[in-house]
Chain A
Amino acid sequence: EAGVVQSPRYKIIEKKQPVAFWCNPISGHNTLYWYRQNLGQGPELLIRYENEEAVDDSQLPKDRFSAERLKGVDSTLKIQPAELGDSAVYLCASSLDHGGRHNEQFFGPGTRLTVL
């Protein structure tokens, strides 16, 4: 079974430029997460989807970040414009959850973003 796929693996951009990350979750997983992980720290949730619905986007900086999950499968996370402080690893994860229960999340390899 294929795991969570993310692309690109690495991205270097100049500040004020736009950038987009793509995630393909494990087939059948209804819940998809985007996390940001700064160096030496734990992942911090940006947004959580249950199927097509964003059920928790309270930590998403909505002035510059946007996300979508069309048809409840793939998802994209966009930053426009990027700032120096956005340099981090962006992780996508998916899980099969029911009725509010947490099941284990399966993580992709992440996209390492460097903003110059």
Chain B
Amino acid sequence: AQSVAQPEDQVNVAEGNPLTVKCTYSVSGNPYLFWYVQYPNRGLQFLLKYITGDNLVKGSYGFEAEFNKSQTSFHLKKPSALVSDSALYFCAGGAAGNKLTFGGGTRVLVKP
């Protein structure tokens, strides 16, 4: 069975510092990987996705993620965090034709 893990429940970072949110996956074959962000009382918003190609994927709002096949990871990164980046972040993954499995989420708190 496929699975997605986000090992950190919460990440705290100072504004202007680099932000990393970790994600590891277990998916048969070539995975489809996504990052979504959720603000309070809102639905999930798409940030970026990896299907094939370059291991470094660039997405919305200055976010990027690095696909690492050997470590089965897809960590989300932002070089300089903003207070407005404070939200709940979800990693999701799946194989072609299968459902997406979501991680448990990581709450990001960016302090001024």
Contacts and interface: CB of A to CB of B under 8 A. Distances in A.
A107 B43 contact: yes
Contact of A48 (B44, B51, B99, B103): B99
A101 B105 contact: no
A40 B106 CA distance: 9
Is the interface on chain A under 10, 10 to 19, 20 to 34, or 35 or more residues?
20 to 34
Interface in A8-55: 40-45, 48
Interface residues of B, number: 23
A91 interface: yes
B14 interface: no
B55 to A, nearest CB: 18
Contact of A102 (B90, B96, B103, B105): B96
A5 to B, nearest CB: 11
Contacts of B99: 45, 48, 56
B97 interface: yes
Contacts of A41: 104-105
B42 A109 contact: yes
Contacts of B97: 100
A102 B94 contact: yes
A106 interface: yes
B102 A101 contact: no
A102 B27 CA distance: 14
B49 interface: yes
